[in-house]
Amino acid sequence: MFNQNGLSLDQAPPISVVFRFFFSGALFGVLSGIFILFFQTAIFDPHTIEAVILTHTFTLGVMLSFMFAALFQMLPVIAGVRLSSPIQKANWVQYPFIAGVISLLFAFHLSIPWLFGLASLLLGTSILPIVFIMLKNLLDLQSHSSSSKGMLIALLSLGIVVLLALYLTATLGGVIEGSYYIQIKVAHYSFGLFGWIALLIISISFQVIEMFYVTPSYPNLVSRYLPLTLLCLLIVTSIVGIFNFDIWMISNILLILLLSGYALLTLKRLTQKKRPLSDATVWFWRVGLSALLLSMFSTGVTLFADIAVIKTLSYIFFASFALSIVFAMFYKIVPFLTWFHLNSQGYFTAPMMHEVIHPKTAKKHLYIHLATIVAFIVSIFIPQLILPAGALTIISFGWMTYQIIHAHLLYKKIQETGEKFDMGNVH
Amino acid sequence: MIISQYMKQEHRECDTHFAEAEQAAASGDWAKAEESFLTFSNDTLRHFKKEEEELFPAFEAQTGSSEGPTQVMRYEHEQVKGLIGKLAEALESQDKDAYLSLCESMMILLQQHNMKEEQMLYAMCDRVLPPETKECTLENMKKVEL
């Protein structure tokens, strides 16, 4: 009669599933910083191989890892989907995924066809099956929330991104001729940036903005139709774009309007929050949403005036948007999960959230993050500043890595030495 | 959707009192924090009582299951009650950092719990309970006192 999965006692996945993806994402972030130190301002020209390598380190290595962490954790909580054997699934995904990302980066750097084949195999077999399993679980749900529908659409986009990527790597690997290479490439990054990254953030925000900060709900019109509208827009444009490339102009204007509207609405929601305190996570959201607005504005400008500097700014702002939201989620999820799992296991010495990561620690990271964004922007005009920008990127992700290790060690310590209630009568 | 509407409204009222107490504690107004926290905890415990004594039994009788979602909700109520106790201790000792830290945990735990109820359990109740049972359960819930 109804699906009870979302209400089961053991609904939350083991904490290691979430931590491991945050950990690998943060390490790829450190790697991004190292690449920036080596590649310097070559990363600002999207046609260079350096820019392609950095983009994939960031979107695949960093963002997709973080988003796996979010999906494994959020699917049971906000969509009522419980994945069976989560540790096993996480292992199947994570190891080939990491190997796949590294192969792809080497393939780009060395232009070796078989490496593209290897990367396609590893990434395809790690990402597509889990996307399929998650999609199937979401489709089986009897009652949907805006978030679960949005996640479904975002996952569908991720599947499309990977399939399009396989066409591109097959072309680069010399397996196919790739007559539609340019069109597929545009569709690939549009689905990746808007259909996957932006849409997943939007879908999750429909729940977490209200949940973490106690704000009014999003209007039904937005939460019900925005994800589907974005997906339809991308699908129609990608198909028509094969024959008539100019359609991307209209599509981009619509995407800019929709995403700017979402950013403004969410910023307004944050001003309506019932909880008075503005901790670092609120500021990460504000920074992220403002960056999304600026990214959309600068993208809008480049539609009418092809100015390289503005284009670069739009990339920097979009990356700032995605990362700010990841950090905002990280500083809520990691302390909460550490407390929640230990508390649920009956440890009355379970550390409070502030003891896992203190708000002041999160605030320090906010300042590092802001300094990183500023350094990148200024380095467009003063190229030497790309070195501090790279160093700040390393510090930012290094900071995050340390917090995960600290939370993990604290968790293990309490499990080994903490005093425990007898939970037999509670269950 | 009469069950959903009524219960959601109660969730929102609890949130408001909780936020008032948090704001007062953050600004060091412990008297106001105590007053708002007391309203929050009384409202929350009354809300739990309404569910556990009226709504859940009606749902369980209708579906023939007392092992499923209602059992989980009861368990989560116990978790929330445990945190209410810890918050009261922090309030009594006027330990601002502990109080605000516990507020974080409470807010996420409670909102997560509320979402599951609002999106699944209440929706199920509105769907499976016959109209007269719904009316009767709602009336009985309104009469529940702590």
ipTM: 0.78
- pLDDT(A312) > 80: yes
Question: Is A82 within the bounds of a domain?
Answer: no
- pLDDT(A9) > 70: no
Complete domains list, chain B, with CATH: 2-143 (1.20.120.520)
Shortest CA gap A319–chain B (Å) = 27
Lowest mean pLDDT among A12-16, A321-325, A361-365, B142-146: A12-16
Residues of A contacting chain B (CB within 8 angstroms): 1-4, 6-9, 11, 77-78, 80, 143, 145, 207, 210-212, 214, 274-277, 332, 335-336, 339-340, 343-344, 352-355, 426-427
Q: What is the mean pLDDT of residues A158-172?
A: 94
CA distance A332 to A212: 8
Q: Give the pLDDT confidence score for residue A79 in this predicted structure.
A: 66
Confidence of residue A3 (pLDDT cuts 50, 70, 90): very low
Q: In terms of residue numbers, what domain contains A388? A: 277-413
Q: b or e along A69-106 (b: 16 or more beta carbons within 10 Å of the residue's beta carbon)?
A: bbbbbbbbbbbbbbbeebeebbebbbebbbbbbbbbbb
Query: Which chain A residues have a beta carbon less than 8 Å from that of B18?
Result: 214
Dmax over CA atoms of chain A, in Å, equals 68
Q: What is the mean pLDDT of residues A69-76?
A: 84
Of the candidates B18, B105, B124, which has its C-beta nearest A339's C-beta? B105
Distances (CA, A) of A65 to A70, A75, B10, B22: 9, 15, 38, 34
Question: Is A367 within the bounds of a domain?
Answer: yes
Chain-chain contact of B120 with A274 (C-beta, under 8 angstroms): no
Question: Is A315 within the bounds of a domain?
Answer: yes
Q: At what angle do helices A308-344 and A280-304 cross, to 10 degrees?
A: 150
Confidence of residue A427 (pLDDT cuts 50, 70, 90): very low
Q: What is the mean pLDDT of residues A99-125?
A: 95
Q: Give the pLDDT confidence score for residue A384 in this predicted structure.
A: 94
Q: Give the pLDDT confidence score for residue A243 in this predicted structure.
A: 86
Structure tokens that stand for A317 in this block: 């702002």
Shortest CA gap A175–chain B (Å) = 48
CA distance A413 to A219: 44
Lowest mean pLDDT among A104-108, A310-314, A344-348, B30-34: A344-348
Chain-chain contact of B79 with A143 (C-beta, under 8 angstroms): no
Cβ-Cβ contacts under 8 Å between A and B: the total is 95
Of the candidates B16, B68, B104, which has its C-beta nearest A353's C-beta? B104
- pLDDT(A426) > 60: no
CA distance A237 to A247: 6
Q: Give the pLDDT confidence score for residue A254 in this predicted structure.
A: 95
Q: Give the pLDDT confidence score for residue A125 in this predicted structure.
A: 94
Confidence of residue A404 (pLDDT cuts 50, 70, 90): very high
Q: Which one, of A257, A301, A248, A306, lies nearest residue A46 by Cα?
A: A306
Question: Is A143 within the bounds of a domain?
Answer: no
Lowest mean pLDDT among A151-155, A347-351, B40-44: A347-351
Angle at B28 between CA B26 and CA B29, to 5 degrees: 110
- pLDDT(A58) > 70: yes
Contact (CB, 8 A) for A200 and A151:
yes
Of the candidates B75, B105, B107, which has its C-beta nearest A352's C-beta? B105
Amino acid letter at A36? Answer: I
Of the candidates A9, A212, A336, which has its C-beta nearest B75's C-beta? A9
Question: Is A324 within the bounds of a domain?
Answer: yes
Lowest mean pLDDT among A30-39, A370-379, B124-133: B124-133
CA distance A388 to A36: 10
Confidence of residue A202 (pLDDT cuts 50, 70, 90): very high
- SS3 call for A420: strand
- pLDDT(A102) > 80: yes
Confidence of residue A422 (pLDDT cuts 50, 70, 90): low
Highest mean pLDDT among A10-14, A204-208, A247-251, A367-371: A367-371
Question: Is A255 within the bounds of a domain?
Answer: no
Chain-chain contact of A7 with B23 (C-beta, under 8 angstroms): no
Mutation choice for A interface testing from B115, B121, B127 by most A CBs within 10 A: B115
Q: What is the mean pLDDT of each run of 10 residues along chain B (146 residues)?
A: 90 91 93 96 97 95 83 90 94 94 90 83 90 93 91
Domain count across chain A? 1
Q: Which one, of A135, A140, A127, A133, lies nearest residue A153 by Cα?
A: A135
Per residue in B97-128, pLDDT (tens digit) is 999 999 988 988 898 888 888 877 898 899 89
- Name the DSSP letter for residue A82: -
Residues 6+ apart with CB under 8 A from A94: A20, A21, A24, A68, A126
Dihedral pair phi/psi, residue A11, rounded to 5°: -65, -35
Contact (CB, 8 A) for B86 and B108:
no
pTM given for the model: 0.88
Lowest mean pLDDT among A6-20, A127-141, B104-118: A6-20
| Any A CB within 8 A of B1 CB | no
- pLDDT(A253) > 90: yes
- SS3 call for B20: helix
Structure tokens that stand for A270 in this block: 């944050």
Structure tokens that stand for A54 in this block: 């950095």
Chain-chain contact of A332 with B108 (C-beta, under 8 angstroms): yes
Arithmetic mean of pLDDT over chain A:
90
CA distance B144 to B146: 7
Q: What is the mean pLDDT of residues A254-272?
A: 95
Structure-token match 């330990």, residue found: B95
Question: Is A380 within the bounds of a domain?
Answer: yes
What is the torsional sign of CA A149, A70, A9, B101?
Answer: negative
Question: Is A59 within the bounds of a domain?
Answer: no
- pLDDT(A295) > 90: yes
Q: Give the pLDDT confidence score for residue A4 in this predicted structure.
A: 39
